[in-house]
Amino acid sequence: MTVTLKVFVFLIGALFLFLGLAGLFTPENFANSLGLEMANPEGVGTVRAMIGAHYVAMGGVCFYAVIRQTPVLLIPIAAIEVVMVIARGIAAVNGEVSSATLVPTTIEILAVAILVTAAMKLPRS
């Protein structure tokens, strides 16, 4: 169980890192893949800072938490994902969703479950 949880946390961290690097280094393409249009250079900088950097940091914390055996650090990452799921719920109530949002929402819910489980079950140093 411990090894499996560590692998899952590393996979989540890798996904976060991948998304973050895409947001940092190709913000226009990243935004377009989300259906966002960049109306000005500030929009590109916002994607870079608020999405790219955010996900890179989340991935780094996931890796660090497992490597340094400090699973409690996964709780804030899970909290961020919970708030993202809540935001998706608000978007759904406001009619701001499509079938394209099902996969990311499912991944976010799974990430929360895995991160919280890992935070509670993984051994601490």
Say what the pLDDT of residue 98 is: 85
CA distances from 107 to 10, 103, 104, 116 (A): 14, 6, 5, 14
Q: What is the pLDDT of residues 82-114, one digit of tens each?
A: 999 999 999 999 999 888 888 889 999 999 999
- How far apart, in whole angstroms, are the C-alpha atoms of residue 53 and residue 58? 9
pTM to 2 decimals? Answer: 0.90
pLDDT digits (tens, 9 = 90+) for 47-76: 999 999 999 999 999 999 999 999 999 999
- DSSP state at residue 70: -
